[in-house]
Amino acid sequence: MRIFFILAILLSYPSLTVADWPQFRGPYGLGTSPDTGIPENWSETENIAWKIPLPGVGASSPIVIGDKVFLTASEGGADDVLRHVLCFSLTDGRLLWDKTVDSLLPEQSKIREDHGYASSTPVATGDRLFVFFGKSGVFAFDHDGRQLWNTTVGSALNGWGSAASLTLHRNLVLVNASVEGEALVALDQTSGKEVWKVGNITESWHAPVLAPVANGRTEVIAALNGELRAFDAVDGKPLWQCKSGIGWYMCPMPLVQDGIVYAVGGRSGLGGLAVRTGGTGNVTETRRLWTLQKATNVPTPILHGGYLYFANDSTAVAHCVDIKTGEFLYSERLVPNPGGIYASPVLIGERILYLGRGGQAVFIAAKPEFKVLSSAVLENKRGMFNASPAVAGNRLLLRSNKFLYCIGDAPKQ
């Protein structure tokens, strides 16, 4: 099954290298990197390769293709919002280009929690970049900043803004337009034309998830309020649905490994479940393996070595779950306390990095025994770090509402 998964990803992201971080949570959307050269500690003056001020705020995460870092930002309010698509040099942080797009106004009058109007993480191939700006739609650029097309996917607004990131599959751009049009939409990468669309997608805030199955089919997984649904990636045909028992909106991305989907979300009551892929119709009684009593609400978990790792967004309690049984092996508060956590954790070698919204970072061991390894702080724990980290070789990229940081060795002069 793992071979099918890797082949599907390679077909979806042609011309990329193993060092690229082309989408939200990097290769395969799993938030993992084998690199071990990233420092365990940093500060405003220690282990900062470069630090660049941003022209606006946002919760979108940086992505990396070769020596280029792509990011989005927004400034202004509902009637005059200006959205930026940015490209920086990974080597020294130099701004390579800054393009603005035409937004459909007015926007939501107020975006909660300082998210801004640029919350969806871009996705890229070796020569194209795709960004999503809510009711203003999906935009395609080449890597020199030339806009190629723009397609709208709905016009509705939400107090949390628009946040679902994009996913690629073969020649398609997959868009979770739950907010904008209560739909899951597939666009042609070359033209931006709609290829298929399925409706009744509600309370779903994550990037579409790919789940290759043994017969060569690829399923697109969407976690909604109360259930998981799967669709055929080629034509959007509904394949199966599974009751989750989670009575809340779903923010974290489901994770797929060895034919099983692991979905965590919610705020109280049931918090997660495991479902075997490849089914037909209602599979709640036949393919649901277990459920969880604790949740994460916002950050997407890490899946590693047979264990699921996640931290609650408001309590900063870190959990480890045995994926074979759904048993919690530990539930421990992170120290130092990072406060609220919106950023998804990343696995770097055998270390898991949790990043608090204020700028407090905590490394723990990627093992079923809880152990804090180190910690680091930026912006005196008073910043606004809603975006998830990105890893590029031996460098770590962190985005706040003010700056883009590159953690690692300083560039040679």
pLDDT in tens, 83-139: 999 999 999 999 999 999 999 999 998 888 778 899 999 999 999 999 999 999 999
Instruction: Please check the confidence at residue 190 and state whether its pLDDT lies above 50.
Output: yes
Give me the pLDDT at residue 7, please: 44
Give me the pLDDT at residue 412, please: 54
Strand partners, 198: 184
pLDDT tens figures, 343-400: 999 999 999 999 999 999 999 999 999 999 999 999 999 999 999 999 999 999 999 9
pTM for this predicted structure: 0.94
Give me the pLDDT at residue 210, please: 97
Average pLDDT of the chain, as a whole number:
93
Give me the pLDDT at residue 16, please: 52
Instruction: Please check the confidence at residue 10 and state whether its pLDDT lies above 80.
Output: no
Judge contact between 73 and 116, C-beta under 8 A. yes
Give me the pLDDT at residue 4, please: 43
Rounded-to-integer distance, Cα 210 and Cα 222, Å: 9
Which DSSP helix (H) or strand (E) runs through 360? strand 360-365
Structure tokens of 179? 């907010």
pLDDT tens figures, 192-238: 999 999 999 999 999 999 999 988 899 999 999 999 999 999 999 99
Structure tokens of 182? 């209560």
Kindly give, in sequence order, each residue whose CB lies less than 8 Å from that of residue 16, ignoring residues fewer than 6 positions away. Answer: 22, 65, 125, 126
Give me the pLDDT at residue 12, please: 52
Strand, coil or helix: what is 11? Answer: helix
Rounded-to-integer distance, Cα 198 and Cα 194, Å: 11
Rounded-to-integer distance, Cα 373 and Cα 292, Å: 27
Rounded-to-integer distance, Cα 230 and Cα 410, Å: 45
pLDDT tens figures, 237-290: 999 999 999 988 999 999 999 999 999 997 777 899 999 999 999 999 999 999
Rounded-to-integer distance, Cα 331 and Cα 276, Å: 26
Nearest to 338 by CA among 312, 367, 319, 320: 312
Rounded-to-integer distance, Cα 374 and Cα 41, Å: 7
